[in-house]
Structure 1
Amino acid sequence: MKKIAILGQPNVGKSSLFNRFARRRIAITSDMAGTTRDVKKEIIDFDGKEAELLDTGGIDDSSELFRRVRNKAIEAAKAADIILYMVDGKALPDDRDKELFYRLQRLGKPIALVVNKIDNDKEEERAWEFGEFGANNLFAISVSHNRRVGQLIEWVKNHLDEPEAALLDLVPDEADALENLIAQFDETGTLQEEEDLSEIGVAIIGRTNVGKSSLLNALLGEERAVVSDVAGTTIDPVDEKMTLGDKTVTFVDTAGIRRRGKIQGIERYALGRTRQMLERADIALLVLDASAPLSELDEKIAGLVDEYKLGCIIVLNKWDEALGSYEEIVDELRYRFKFLSWAPVITVSAKSKKRIHKINDMILKVFENYTRHIPTRELNEVIKQATIRHHIPSHKGKPVNILFASQYAIKPPKIALISNRPRGIHFSYIRYLTNQLRENFDLEGTPVILIPKRRGEREEESE
């Protein structure tokens, strides 16, 4: 019977993970550091595969007692067949963790770095700060929210059997790294642990008096938001729900944004609340007034879409009073909003409800792309062909290679480029790869984030 050891510093969630694996409360959990001191053992049934799970005490050198606890934990790791090393995702990477993780890696056993307390998609980026550990198998989870714990369990179950053949014609160690890094996706690009994608959050943003509330009323088919020619009528964000196909869409009509010098009194609070809404949104309807010239403020508001990494649809309202032709206005818009070149443009008249139905259809399409999982094999084939057409420039005279690519998150699609010298991949080359992905996959309306990552510390040291 194989043994699985859970290690880490105090208060990172080891006992909570132990209980989650056991599906019942066995280990005592507490915010007090040092609650677990002895190694706790339990036989766990992983869908017919039994293993002995070891919950070790927190690794700490602050006292003689904790040093003994630490030694017991390391002994448990040496006796184990699989090691799960846990860290606190809300804290910065710790040198003591890094040093011990390297030491445990040298044991030559399957080992995963488990970054706990990653409670939502917005916190996902923090997990990649732990890339400097050089872990081939990194899982960003939240035990308390049961978020992506299933992916970690699947990885453990895979290692209870004999290892399988390498993937994607890579050399064996690269195949293992790829298999474990993308454990959350199957070969079709579908999450193994299903996420709830039945709800879409849509924020309606724009400067004052561009017609956001009128647009909301037109989308809902009834007067839900107060409409007035007085700028600043909407202060509190207004939430309204409607059903589109099998999705529930929550529209948020946010307060109109003015130039900073003109924001007065309660509008300051409204701006803060608008930002809170954007943190929870999936898609922004960026509403612009086609009857007035584009302004610097429009550009700044558009920048919020980029800041919060939202899907986006650009809505040109008051089209029946447009200042120019479609080509002229869109050309200027694309020039001013280069960072939103991927966002579709729809012309409407909220007052007469012309072409409003097109927004509903586009919301569903953009959300599909915002939550898109690109099949791993297809993703790597596109990246491979792109690097053959245009080689990555060398970095400080040394070659730069992308070993493989792996999508690790959605909302929006986030892709890790595992490289021998990630710092050598210039942002202009990232832009080139992003364009190649857009040419091969339908990613209209969503940002795509490519992040170069290293496979291990040794590659970084060799630069």
Structure 2
Amino acid sequence: MKKIALIGQPNVGKSSLFNRIAKKRIAIVSEQSGTTRDIRKHNVEIFDKEALMLDTGGIDETDDAIFSNVKRKSVETAKEADIILFMVDGKRIPDDKDKELYYELQALGKELALVVNKIDNDKEMERLWSFYEFGIGEENLFGISVSHNRGTTKLFDWIYDRLPETVEPIQVKKEKEGEEDDEFEYDEELIEEVIEEESNEIKVAIIGKVNVGKSSILNALTGQERSVVSPIAGTTIDPVDESFEYEGKNITFVDTAGLRRRGSIEGIEKYALMRTEDMLQKANIALLVLDASKPFADLDEKISGLVDKHGLATIIVLNKWDENMDTFKKLEEEVRRRFRFLFFAPIIAVSAKTGRSIDRLKDKIIAIHENYSRRISTSVLNKTIETAVMRHALPSPNGAYLRIYYATQFGVKPPRIALIMNKPKLLHFSYKRYLMNFLRENIDFEGTPIHLVTRGKGEREEEEEVVTQY
């Protein structure tokens, strides 16, 4: 699949064009210069052809630590791309900085288009003449207005002509006696392959306070500098995702924006907070990143509450542990004390700087996802519940006789187990907690919450009483 890179100075409209091509609002758009800082990827369709779109951060020549990293990563992305869309602001006359960037990109020998944005009407098309001094041919110069959706069709046609044909899925003609129609059905082996591929997907959200090292951990896990890293809090704004294969699984990591106290959230960080919530809804596993070199804060606990809210499998990652002289045992005790409701989550101390325990963290992600997706056979489940009841008899509230007919698992991600009973509403929470703890002692549910429901015979699912393991 060919890659298309969007390159340009800050605030020229790259993210708006990215959203237009993707046909959805993915990148955060604002008037604030430098909103996009990391590389954002998304599979797109140009008419009936596919491509991978890369939205880069605005290239700014300032000495700012963040923007110097942004420029370097943007140029590296251009080198990897097959097609480069160099975008400039049509409201301004061409400047030397734009020319230097254009010539630098031209030297790469890639398919290159000069996209002049903010040409909002026919009169403003006259401004295009000043951009011919770049030495570009007319066929590679496009005057567009993303906000008014002007001139984009011509640009899309240019991109389309440079993309390979999309391979059509295998189809088998459906034979119908006495009928002539164009109905098709997909080859069954192809469907099974797609289903198997989907089952290998693991989506991991990396969450935590600002400046705890989330982007550094993402870079260490993926083995490449995917996110811009700087000591400045709030560097990551857009959630950044990166996929790679590991142990036969396709793992997609999402580095979310660092979260602050609500009163400290300003400007585009409000959008970042909303995007973080959206990403958590789609994730399977959360890596809760804590800075082990500093005392834990109340905000760490509040952020961890998002994990419980979305029912995610969890790994607690202690970053920068090499900067703390405390023993791991002491740190572990502190984590268990402050994050009691995440007692099921394993704790791994890592150093994104040195790479310590990063491979161990990858292996743990695979293992936790298996637990999060685990299906327990009805026979094993009932035997376990039966043993638990024998060891600790069911209570008799107000003399009522309680009986569990059987147990069955009715869902995964996280595991959902139903107890079919004669009087489900009378079973006390403390006994349900005992049963869930007994299940954990006998079945590997490390890293994942368990949802346990009690139900009477014939009750509809929406009438269930759901109990989440804290």
Supply the distance in 2 between the matched residues of 1:245 and 1:332 (Cα, whole angstroms).
Answer: 33
1:290-312 Cα distance to aligned partner (Å, 9 max, x none)? 00111111111111111111111
How far the C-alpha of 1:252 sits from its partner, in A, is: 0.2
Supply the distance in 2 between the matched residues of 1:434 and 1:194 (Cα, whole angstroms).
Answer: 30
Supply the distance in 1 between the matched residues of 2:294 and 2:419 (Cα, whole angstroms).
Answer: 43
Show the counterpart of 1:286. 288
How far the C-alpha of 1:397 sits from its partner, in A, is: 2.6
Q: 2:353 aligns with which of 351, 359, 373?
A: 351
Supply the distance in 2 between the matched residues of 1:406 and 1:267 (Cα, whole angstroms).
Answer: 44
**Counterpart secondary structure, 1:316:** strand
Q: 1:211 aligns with which of 210, 213, 236?
A: 213
Show the counterpart of 2:368. 366
1:213-266 Cα distance to aligned partner (Å, 9 max, x none)? 000001111111001111111110001001011110000000001111111111
Which amino acid is the alignment partner of residue 342 of structure 1? F
1:104-128 Cα distance to aligned partner (Å, 9 max, x none)? xxxxxxxxxxxxxxxxxxxxxxxxx
Supply the distance in 2 between the matched residues of 1:457 and 1:293 (Cα, whole angstroms).
Answer: 49
1:412-431 matches, within 5 Å, as: 412-431=414-433
Supply the distance in 2 between the matched residues of 1:274 and 1:371 (Cα, whole angstroms).
Answer: 23
TM-score (norm 1): 0.56
Supply the distance in 2 between the matched residues of 1:337 and 1:415 (Cα, whole angstroms).
Answer: 25
Q: Following TM superposition, where does structure 1 have runs of at least 4 consecutive aligned residues deviating by more than 3 angstroms?
A: 193-196
Query: Closer, same or farther in 2 for the Cα pair 1:195/1:380, shift >3 Å?
Result: farther
Supply the distance in 1 between the matched residues of 2:209 and 2:301 (Cα, whole angstroms).
Answer: 10
How far the C-alpha of 1:323 sits from its partner, in A, is: 5.2
1:375-414 matches, within 5 Å, as: 375-414=377-416
Show the counterpart of 2:237. 235
Show the counterpart of 2:467. none
Show the counterpart of 1:324. 326
Q: 1:315 touches 1:347 (CA, 8 Å); kept in 2?
A: yes
Q: 1:208 touches 1:231 (CA, 8 Å); kept in 2?
A: yes
Show the counterpart of 1:441. 443
- Residues 1:250 and 2:227 are matched in the alignment: no
Supply the distance in 2 between the matched residues of 1:194 and 1:392 (Cα, whole angstroms).
Answer: 41
Percent of pairs with identical residues: 57
Supply the distance in 1 between the matched residues of 2:459 and 2:385 (Cα, whole angstroms).
Answer: 24
Show the counterpart of 1:273. 275
Q: 1:310 aligns with which of 312, 323, 331?
A: 312
1:70-90 Cα distance to aligned partner (Å, 9 max, x none)? xxxxxxxxxxxxxxxxxxxxx
**Counterpart secondary structure, 1:230:** coil
How far the C-alpha of 1:456 sits from its partner, in A, is: 3.6
**Counterpart secondary structure, 2:199:** coil
**Counterpart secondary structure, 2:205:** strand
**Counterpart secondary structure, 1:396:** helix
**Counterpart secondary structure, 2:402:** coil
Query: Closer, same or farther in 2 for the Cα pair 1:367/1:385, shift >3 Å?
Result: same
How far the C-alpha of 1:396 sits from its partner, in A, is: 3.4
Supply the distance in 2 between the matched residues of 1:304 and 1:425 (Cα, whole angstroms).
Answer: 28
1:362-405 Cα distance to aligned partner (Å, 9 max, x none)? 01000111100111101001101111111121233311221110
Show the counterpart of 1:297. 299
1:327-338 matches, within 5 Å, as: 327-338=329-340
How far the C-alpha of 1:347 sits from its partner, in A, is: 0.5
CA RMSD of aligned residues (A): 1.7
- In structure 2, list runs of 5 or more residues that go unmatched: 1-194, 464-470
TM-score (norm 2): 0.55
How far the C-alpha of 1:422 sits from its partner, in A, is: 1.1
Supply the distance in 2 between the matched residues of 1:435 and 1:457 (Cα, whole angstroms).
Answer: 26
Supply the distance in 2 between the matched residues of 1:421 and 1:365 (Cα, whole angstroms).
Answer: 37
How far the C-alpha of 1:194 sits from its partner, in A, is: 7.4
Which amino acid is the alignment partner of residue 407 of structure 1? Q
Show the counterpart of 1:14. none
Which amino acid is the alignment partner of residue 414 of structure 1? R
Supply the distance in 1 between the matched residues of 2:362 and 2:368 (Cα, whole angstroms).
Answer: 10
Show the counterpart of 1:38. none
How far the C-alpha of 1:195 sits from its partner, in A, is: 9.1
Which amino acid is the alignment partner of residue 378 of structure 2? T
Q: 1:290 touches 1:323 (CA, 8 Å); kept in 2?
A: no
How far the C-alpha of 1:353 sits from its partner, in A, is: 1.1
How far the C-alpha of 1:349 sits from its partner, in A, is: 0.6
Q: 1:292 touches 1:323 (CA, 8 Å); kept in 2?
A: no
- Residues 1:197 and 2:180 are matched in the alignment: no
**Counterpart secondary structure, 2:418:** strand
Supply the distance in 2 between the matched residues of 1:249 and 1:195 (Cα, whole angstroms).
Answer: 12
Query: Closer, same or farther in 2 for the Cα pair 1:457/1:231, shift >3 Å?
Result: closer
Show the counterpart of 1:172. none
Q: Which is worse superposed, 394-403 or 205-214?
A: 394-403
How far the C-alpha of 1:206 sits from its partner, in A, is: 0.4
1:337-361 Cα distance to aligned partner (Å, 9 max, x none)? 1111111111111011111111110
Query: Closer, same or farther in 2 for the Cα pair 1:395/1:351, shift >3 Å?
Result: same
Supply the distance in 2 between the matched residues of 1:298 and 1:319 (Cα, whole angstroms).
Answer: 16
Q: 1:216 touches 1:225 (CA, 8 Å); kept in 2?
A: yes
Supply the distance in 2 between the matched residues of 1:430 and 1:411 (Cα, whole angstroms).
Answer: 20
How far the C-alpha of 1:279 sits from its partner, in A, is: 0.5
Supply the distance in 1 between the matched residues of 2:294 and 2:410 (Cα, whole angstroms).
Answer: 42
Q: Which is worse superposed, 239-248 or 388-397?
A: 388-397
Show the counterpart of 1:82. none
- In structure 1, list runs of 5 or more residues that go unmatched: 1-192
**Counterpart secondary structure, 1:309:** coil
